[in-house]
Structure 1
């Protein structure tokens, strides 16, 4: 989208010294150059001084509320361009809803707990060669709090600089004492309704950060993994037919073999019993040995293990039922049977068609094992090493604390080879999960954690959490609609919500566990004491108080374990609706809208949905809007290493925030967007043209007063057409605001300014504005409509270019319609009188404009051939079909076409007349105008030279000069 606006310039009307001062050239203090980097901070100060946000709230009292609940950015660094896109889009929505006549109260917020901040403080300790674990936890948390508080201050000012209007003095943060109290109170609801439980489950685990991670904290990168093909000797099969064979598996995680407790096959896969017919050099296969493989993968396995296979017989999934194998390290501490189980997740795309199942090291593995009563062993500790009880490999690390590969894979592979169970070894580059903070590979490990159940019936909400969440998704409006399918598919298949983290900075899981029964203490009085202590002192109270403070006299502290894990930060942000919206008379619950990037379907949208459905039975929002990600001009992800980062602070310093705001509406935000130096230059040029539109209106309205105004019924047809176009745009803009379709609004506004106004209406009326006497109806009517244009354009632009709209509004003549507002942002979108919309008139002027295009085309050709210099030297003959003749009835052809004369001619046009293929029925024969050139308006007219007093002027200009 670009603003191609070509405005008439004053120098077109340079006249002789005698008459120059009598031409009403545009005059305004609104400068051509915006100087936004300097002007915008001045306007920000003005809004602060006049307490604009408070005035908006006061003037909105009693209106229908609109609440966009802010998804909290993380307080750990300067804003990036994604932040700018997100917050500007939110500002566009809240401002436009306000101007629709609602009470659009926006409260910004911050996410403050969690690993990224804790990691920064740990880095400071490591740089000083200090051990973070030797620091008292409350002191460590104090440093984390100070770090977050600093960055909230920095980000708040950076957001303000973008022109984002909100309740910056009363923002929310997850680390405020009241917030922490409500978060633990929300956890207490799950504790009391039975949704919270402690279990042992395979979770994503960062060895570097020593904590469980949520799926939203994972990113995938290319990674080189060791691979092994491993034999599992069959010890029992139907009729003993496979007892002399091995089930062969392939895995990219050899280190999980000590945790193996089962094998899986695909019920729909065709298998085969294979014999090794011949072996190549170095092959570990043995001639004559038999193995079970997926039939489609026999060749690939033979190639990987360097042997020639021969299929002995086909094997169906039914033939595999009840098969039992031995662990490949049987006799070395792994003396248990390994059952073969059917599983839908097994495919024949790669590997062998069989999957080794380590229930402690994978989500599918865990679910399959639990469903079949398989043991879930503890094999790997939180530091990434095998527990001491693991035979053969105790103490060996899978990954080190620095995120590097440990010796586990190599050791397991060597032991398998020595035992004769290794068929082949290799390496593969593939996509592998990494922590998005440390960038280190993660593992699945079985660990005791706290979970919120997805499928346990909860009486308080009338169903299971999954059922309620799916119903809430069905009741939610998604923009774009694809968000519905994405979030719903996630909820349909997600496991129980792991809400515990083994870290220090966050809201603790404030639960006591009975040492005898292992059950959490569910006592509302105890939880209420916890909540009140957090409200008074913050969550530090949990770590800084004796347990008796919370347990009271009712329980003995010695009987209970005080949980020290902290809550998943997604539970924090998922609870923001509870401490920001609920109970706040200025806001409302549920919110009208949640708005974030599309990655938040697995993040904030997701956690907020689960938290609210688990405690209230419905979503905390009625609508969810998602935007894409911002890439560089080549479509690449931004990174320091590529040097392609566009920082919003730098854009504001060079161009101004309004350029960024134009960029946001200039793209389809529902898709990924691009930004960079060339795109910003384009937007700056677009802005210049937009600014000139406002400047031309202000200049043309110089000295405008209410006395000049012309009633609607007296307006010429051209002015009534302009008002009709305003009515059409208003009818389009209002639903577009509710659809959050700002790209459509910006595009239509651009076309209106560039095509309808600059290239047509302004072009026609510049003669009347500059040269008609001030008292003439035509000039007064044009200025009356221009005042309306200015009023509407500044209102429509106010949410988009908030600074420039305000600057223009403050430069307006006193009698421009304003409703008494001393800021454009205190206005509502102007109301359109019913009389303005005139479909019949609109269709008529489409016909007039089509004819005008043919005339303009003919005159452009004459100018190119240097037969004329200006269109005012022409008086063309226009051959027009009856419908054009009818449309031009009552109109001045010369005025419409900006010529000094011309006539409509009925009948066929002569050969060679100028035509346009897309305007049938119109042909133009160019001709020169007769007469002399008026020294004031430059029209060529026979009357020029006939006045004794003003021989250089036409009659119209003489009357204006004599005034």
Structure 2
């Protein structure tokens, strides 16, 4: 008969005799309030300086910060980026490096200039009436304001770095160095001024680089335009008289700039005649058109032709030329009265359109290259052998363009102007159209203003990708030593995380055009070069040559160090830099500013190479310090790209050893965040309600190589995950309240269960170190979370609670468990520190109170290799398999209310599997199952016994424990009361009470 009631003999409160957990570490984290206190503590103890001191002499791992723009509050993408960087830095420091992080900001360029212009417009102020130096001062003040704001927001995320001494691209030393880097390109003959089509923002009035362009859906006008064939007089081509080559374009406004038509030599073309069409149709019966055979059906469908016939095949090479579709139009004064050559080009396809491509050299890269390759074939007299200029900076046709002067492609807000409409109307009036329509497609837009762009021919400054670099001591160049070649070689020597990043940037470098580095703006570092206005034979210069003189370069850099880049704009003609060696009247001072990607691409030169704490070295052991760049995947075309080109152009190598990329942040449905959708997750709000460690856990647990999702439900999941982790840490802290240094038990003397946990620490040490070294934080979270929930909370702690709470003070089992838990606590807290930076610190200080201590000053613990015991682990894996069957059986009993706690049970376990039976030999299986007893028998067991399909050979028959319930440990045993001095407890508990009482009397 089982008696589970509390014995009537109990006269004392036995809970006072138990070693129950005691801790001030709260169950409710209160992170929004606690984290700022920890930040203040880090500041007070000088954590950053102490980390640098601790890292002295170690191999360096430098994470060079990609500078965010100082133009507004941080968003969730910033939070992802900075938290990732902090996890890299903290974990590399704990892996044994001197891992330094110096934050930086990008301060020049459109993002900030645009904000000042918006403020001007709101006040009715005209930017053009403000002196450029005054305007630049306002930009500088704006950047300074937002640097201060963003600094505090980044720090609140728990990011540790040299916040007192960040780098900024607008610092005088930085501006001076950026100018020096630009002048290096000039001195090695990589810099040149050319006139070619570039992406142009009408709204922002400047050229843009590829990195500043994004593609968005846009609706364009489409037209099919006739170019009348000019018959060459060859008899075989007589039937082409009156025929037209037909082109298709989505940019009607570029037709006035047309100078050629391109075809592909391998496409099949034919002459087609309209045989049936509506009376009022643009394409009439008898009209003949030259088209790609594959596209004829689609063209005639678009032209609303009812029937047509193929006359014969046509070789475009035999046509020679066509007339411009606007030839002879009234009011044009013969402007388009020239022939248009048909030219071969390999970019023409027969996938869409007509198989012929309208070519306007001033408005497209392919068009421009076709002009370069066939310059002699272009006959428009007004061009005088130059690329035609038809559209100005405001997107309006120049006054010299007949019929369309002043018509704009897009207006100042990026809305469509009247250019397309007027061109279409003129073509229709000239009888040059056979069809028109509208089409949605991906079209280039400005990354900043979000307005559509145009290709526009304009003089700009370029860095050549394929010109041999003059890098020898006497200015000589080595054949094939080009910027493209250097960059492609440097990519091979860089570690890319994930590896796909290498293919991505390699493809970009292989195919990219020359780098457009000039901008027609005011806020930035100027292109600090002078151009000869005329031939200067005494100086060895021709008109248009860039002045190359190190003395002039030095004067520019020195002035920038003292006054910043404003010095360039304060001097109208640059005489202060040229004198006394040159006459300013002989030179043009360039006032364009540098592409901000050149600024940020140069940061390595004024941070990594300028700061002693960031400089990398070849070490005595033959290794090399490492530099990592870490940004979003869009930076393959941005910062990674510009840094690679800048450093390869000036140093012949990449500025980084490792490049890590992460994805973008989307909402819970996988959609882009926007205020209009109301799906924006602000990091400031998450920190206010839940704390930064929740964000940090979200970042660490995600596959950052892909896009990440976040939202209220996802955050709830991480709050719950965090709660479980925190409670496990809290229980360890409470249990360790009773642990003292002299209670240490050597591993060799520990029970098997403790040695199993030490073995698990060896296994985890390998996983954690490898994962951190591979920047695989999700693997760290997964491994530690599984260990804490499955191995610790649901198994080891559960099994050992009885021994920890109830065993005598002198119990070896109890002291061994405390020794192991102390090791587990140290490992878990340090391993989690790079991720849960605040919680790990809070737990560490709770365990080791100190005015100056910090978990972040620790290195990952060294786990003794002798703790590894695969044979023991294999045995306990089998024991735990059997335990799962027992636990499953007891859950059913508990649900049916046949038992309350598992200590009320003493199940019978039938084991037919000899291997499993052998594993249980010598094990207190009742203790392992947390029951008051257990009976193990060999055999299959009765049919009604409980079984699990994935654990064959084990069957459990539940049974109630026999005996009385111990008033102290609540175990049920027939031995309760066998010690007369303690008649209501088991002998084990009686021994514990006797020892407890003796210690209290001695005290």
Task: Answer whether TM exceeds 0.5 for this pair.
Answer: yes
Q: Secondary structure at the match of 1:554?
A: coil
Q: 2:351 aligns with which of 349, 352, 364?
A: 349
Q: What are the within-5 Å matches in structure 2 for residues 491-510 of structure 1?
A: 491-510=509-528
Hey, what's the Cα distance between the residues in 2 that align with 1:437 and 1:947?
83
| C-alpha contact (below 8 Å) 2:263/2:316 kept by paired residues | no
Q: Does 1:908 align with 2:905?
A: no
- Normalising by the residue count of structure 1, what TM-score does the alignment of the two structures yield? 0.96
In the alignment, what sits opposite 2:865? 834
| C-alpha contact (below 8 Å) 1:723/1:837 kept by paired residues | yes
- After superposing the two structures, state which structure 1 stretch, 93-102 or 945-954, moved more: 945-954
Q: Does 1:891 align with 2:923?
A: yes
| C-alpha contact (below 8 Å) 2:316/2:342 kept by paired residues | no
Hey, what's the Cα distance between the residues in 2 that align with 1:311 and 1:372?
34
Distance 1:896 1:227, change over 3 A: same
Q: Does 1:275 align with 2:273?
A: yes
| C-alpha contact (below 8 Å) 1:272/1:311 kept by paired residues | no
Q: Secondary structure at the match of 1:394?
A: coil
| C-alpha contact (below 8 Å) 2:60/2:626 kept by paired residues | no
Shift of 1:309: 4.4
Hey, what's the Cα distance between the residues in 2 that align with 1:518 and 1:236?
43
Hey, what's the Cα distance between the residues in 1 that align with 2:122 and 2:393?
23
Q: 2:811 aligns with which of 751, 776, 780?
A: 776
Shift of 1:432: 1.6
| C-alpha contact (below 8 Å) 2:60/2:99 kept by paired residues | yes
Q: Does 1:368 align with 2:370?
A: yes
Q: Does 1:127 align with 2:122?
A: yes
Shift of 1:100: 0.6
Q: What are the within-5 Å matches in structure 2 for residues 49-64 of structure 1?
A: 49-64=44-59
Shift of 1:134: 0.5
| C-alpha contact (below 8 Å) 1:100/1:829 kept by paired residues | yes
Q: Secondary structure at the match of 1:197?
A: strand
Q: What are the within-5 Å matches in structure 2 for residues 464-503 of structure 1?
A: 464-503=482-521
Q: Secondary structure at the match of 2:847?
A: coil
Q: Does 1:585 align with 2:601?
A: no
Shift of 1:821: 7.7
Shift of 1:136: 0.3
Hey, what's the Cα distance between the residues in 1 that align with 2:21 and 2:231?
97
Q: 2:949 aligns with which of 910, 917, 920?
A: 917
Q: 1:252 aligns with which of 250, 253, 256?
A: 250
In the alignment, what sits opposite 2:701? 666
Shift of 1:34: 0.7
Shift of 1:852: 0.7
Q: Secondary structure at the match of 2:448?
A: coil
In the alignment, what sits opposite 1:702? 737
- After superposing the two structures, state which structure 1 stretch, 624-633 or 258-267, moved more: 258-267
Deviations 1:239-293 (A, max 9, x none): 4253431110111111101111111113332222110111125311121111111
In the alignment, what sits opposite 2:441? 430
Shift of 1:93: 0.5
In the alignment, what sits opposite 2:621? none
- After superposing the two structures, state which structure 1 stretch, 109-118 or 900-909, moved more: 900-909
Q: Secondary structure at the match of 1:531?
A: helix
Q: 1:730 aligns with which of 765, 772, 796?
A: 765
Deviations 1:147-200 (A, max 9, x none): 001000000000000000001111111100011111010001100000000000
Q: Does 1:845 align with 2:876?
A: yes
Shift of 1:775: 1.0
Hey, what's the Cα distance between the residues in 2 that align with 1:801 and 1:631?
23
In the alignment, what sits opposite 1:76? 71
Shift of 1:211: 0.2
In the alignment, what sits opposite 1:4? none
Q: 1:563 aligns with which of 567, 572, 590?
A: 590
Q: Secondary structure at the match of 1:793?
A: helix
In the alignment, what sits opposite 1:744? 779
Q: Secondary structure at the match of 2:284?
A: coil
Distance 1:672 1:834, change over 3 A: same
Structure 2 residues without counterparts, runs of 5 or longer: 1-9, 329-333, 379-385, 473-477, 535-542, 617-624, 996-1003
What is the RMSD of the two structures over their aligned residues, measured on CA atoms? 1.7
Shift of 1:17: 5.0
- Normalising by the residue count of structure 2, what TM-score does the alignment of the two structures yield? 0.92
Q: Secondary structure at the match of 2:16?
A: helix
Q: What are the within-5 Å matches in structure 2 for residues 199-348 of structure 1?
A: 199-236=194-231, 239-241=236-238, 242-315=240-313, 318-320=315-317, 323-331=320-328, 332-348=334-350
Hey, what's the Cα distance between the residues in 2 that align with 1:349 and 1:253?
18
Q: What are the within-5 Å matches in structure 2 for residues 874-885 of structure 1?
A: 874-880=905-911, 881-885=913-917
| C-alpha contact (below 8 Å) 2:483/2:649 kept by paired residues | yes
- After superposing the two structures, state which structure 1 stretch, 492-501 or 18-27, moved more: 18-27
Q: Secondary structure at the match of 1:851?
A: helix
| C-alpha contact (below 8 Å) 2:445/2:452 kept by paired residues | yes
Distance 1:898 1:910, change over 3 A: same
Deviations 1:415-457 (A, max 9, x none): 2122221222222222221112222211000000000000001
In the alignment, what sits opposite 2:820? 785
In the alignment, what sits opposite 2:581? 554
Q: What are the within-5 Å matches in structure 2 for residues 452-463 of structure 1?
A: 452-460=463-471, 463=481
Hey, what's the Cα distance between the residues in 1 that align with 2:13 and 2:546?
96
- After superposing the two structures, state which structure 1 stretch, 863-872 or 736-745, moved more: 863-872
In the alignment, what sits opposite 1:854? 885
Hey, what's the Cα distance between the residues in 2 that align with 1:133 and 1:18?
86
Q: Does 1:802 align with 2:825?
A: no
Shift of 1:313: 4.0
Shift of 1:545: 2.5
In the alignment, what sits opposite 1:951? 983
Q: Secondary structure at the match of 1:105?
A: strand
Hey, what's the Cα distance between the residues in 1 that align with 2:651 and 2:265?
41
Shift of 1:591: 5.1
Q: Does 1:188 align with 2:190?
A: no
